[in-house]
Structures are given as C-alpha cells and as structure tokens.
Amino acid sequence: MGGYLRTTILLAAMTALFVAVGGAIGGRGGMLVALGVAVVTNLFAWWNSDRMVLRMHNAQPIGPQDAPQLYRMTQAMAARAGLPMPALYLIHEDQPNAFATGRNPQNAAVAVNTGLLDLMTEEEVAGVVAHELAHIRNRDTLIMTVTACLAGAIGMLAQFGFLFGGRDRERGPGPIVGLLLMVLAPIAAAIVQMAVSRSREYEADRGAAEITGNPAGLARALMRLEQGKLGHVNQAAEANPATAHMFIINPLNGQRMDGLFSTHPRTENRVAALMALAGQGGTGTGGWQQGAPVAPPMAGSRGPGGRVPGSRTQGNQVPSNQVPGNRGPGGSAPAGPWSRPGAPPRRNPWG
C-alpha cells in the first residue's frame, strides 16, 4: 500500500472515530465545540510551528558564509525537488539528528545537529537533507496538524464525558459503552496519529531517494544515525517529547519498539525498504555522486588528488553492516565540507 493511500485511510479512520465518539459522548453540539477548540489551537501551532520548534531546540540560523558546502548542497537539492531554498539552522547538540519545520515550502526550515555534521560523510548528509526536503515537499507538517486536530478533538470529547457525564443516557449508548468510549477513544486516536507519522517517514525516505537518486546513501545515513545517538541524550527533545516525530530518527531514549505508539518505523525496516529501492536501480535520475561537489568548490576546498576533504571515494564506501565514527587522528573529525574555509580540524567545526 502506498504512503499516500495509507495516510488517506488513516485520516478517514480518525475522522470516523471522531464522528462516532462525538455522537456517543458529546452529541452534535459537543462535537462542534471540541472540533472548534482543537482546530484553533492546532492551527495556531501550525502557523507558528517554525518559530516555536526552532526556539525549543535553541537552533541558530546559518548562511552560506557559515557553512558554504552545506548551504550549496541544500540549495542544489531544493532545486532538484522543485522547492525554494529553505532557511538553514544549526543546533549545538552531540546527538546526530535533523528535522524540518514550517507551514509550507515558502516558510520552511531545515535544522541539523552538530553531532550529525561531525559524524557523516557528504553523501550521508545529502541523504538526510533530502529526507527533510521531502517532508517539506509532501507538506507533512500540514498533514500532522490535521491529524493532531482530530486526535485533540477526540481527547477533548473524552474529557467532556468524564467531567459532564456525556450526553443524555436515555439517548446515549449506555453508561458502560460510554465509559469504554471515553477511555479507549483517545488511545485509538493516538494509535492512528502515530501510524500516520510512521507512514510519512517511509514516504519521506522514498522522496529523498528520488531527490538524490541514491537510496543506499540514505540507508547508510540512517544506520549511522541510529548508532550515533547511543550514549547521547538530547535534553531539548526529552523536555519537548511532542516534537520527537519531526526528527529523522527518534531522539528520545528508551523508545526502541516498533509498536503502536512509536512515532518512527524501526530503522532496519526503513533501511530494508531503501535497499530494495537501490536494488531496483533507485528512483531518481542522474544520482548523487559520492564525494562529488554540489557546486563550484570554494578556493582551497580540495585535498590531495582533487578530492573533497572528508568525503569518501567510491572504493571506500561504508559497508552496510558497519557504521564507524568518522574520526581523524586524536579523535577529531576530519576537515570536511562542513568546516569554515581555513578552519583547523576539530571535533565540532561550529565551535
């Protein structure tokens, strides 16, 4: 089943659940009140999503002078995806991760953690950035806002039932059925909401493969991200768990099961889907060449043999079962395409 069809079915199920619960607990009036409140609160969150989330994670705006290669890469892939250039942000966080936000492509932002830039090759960063651009192109922020509106309205109806006893018991479904609806309906809504989130991750992975033409590059990036987050606690994400679904990899600790309440599919399942695409020859045209510049290089950005420092050649790819840290002598990251021109090698090029 395709990602869009799955999302449509899940949203239809959420709507049907809302209508059923609303009719049983709140009646038509209660349905309209709950839906109205949920729509207003979630539309406010959607309209201000970029500023709110970026502030929660202490993201800092960066321009072409701060990260020229990253900026050019994002600009080139946004053009491939048919998108305007999103605003770029950097989060000073050791856990490797990234997310996209914004109410539409014209007001979108992509934020990456310093831990991701420390750890990854150019090809892998390209896969991650393309995944976030795919979320923007698919308008997943809007999809998740609609889902949150319906889930919030269902939860509010359940609260109405607990506080005010629901609608007239003589016309209602009976006290036992009403009580079960009050308890189970919000749980069912949360399950559907998480299922929508998981389906959007698969669709964004596929979109990234289309943008880069290199599904195997994103597969390696996901494996590296999964391993790289071990031992690193993202304090901002732990303090704001409602934003976890926005990240390319679940940033929260202790959430490894691919269960009903998981915001992300299991990484190995995503990797398997991407490698299946790679086995079919990928989905893009042209392909993202590993180690190739994304634009005319900055002066002095080439190393011995004309290779971009910090990139990997085709004969030195990371095997799919090994994701070592990308470290140089003394534990520092090599001077790669993410460093400022002329900056010495150091663990965190953003200092």
Query: Which residues are known binding-site members for Zn(2+)?
Result: 131, 135, 201
Q: Are strands 109-113 and 87-91 parallel, antiparallel or unpaired?
A: parallel
Task: Examine the residue annotation and report whether 238 is marked as an active-site residue of this protein.
Answer: no
Rg of the chain taking only CA atoms, in angstroms: 22
Among the listed residues 132, 203, 210, 226, the single catalytic one is: 132
Rounded Cα distance, 119 and 224, in Å: 8
Write the DSSP symbol of residue 91. E
Q: Is there a contact between 153 and 192 (Cβ–Cβ < 8 Å)? A: no
Q: Is there a contact between 109 and 90 (Cβ–Cβ < 8 Å)? A: no
Q: Is there a contact between 237 and 231 (Cβ–Cβ < 8 Å)? A: no
Residue 319: φ, ψ to 5°: -60, 150
> Cα-Cα-Cα-Cα dihedral of 230, 233, 234, 236, to 10°?
160
Centre a 10 Å sphere on the Cβ of residue 344 and count the other Cβ atoms it contains: 9
Largest CA distance in the chain: 83
Q: Which of 207, 216, 162, 212 is nearest to 25 (CA)?
A: 162
Instruction: Name the strands in the sheet holding 60-62, side by side, starting at the edge strand that comes first in the sequence.
Output: 60-62, 87-91, 109-113, 98-101
Rounded Cα distance, 237 and 251, in Å: 6
Rounded Cα distance, 82 and 133, in Å: 10
Q: Which residues are catalytic?
A: 132
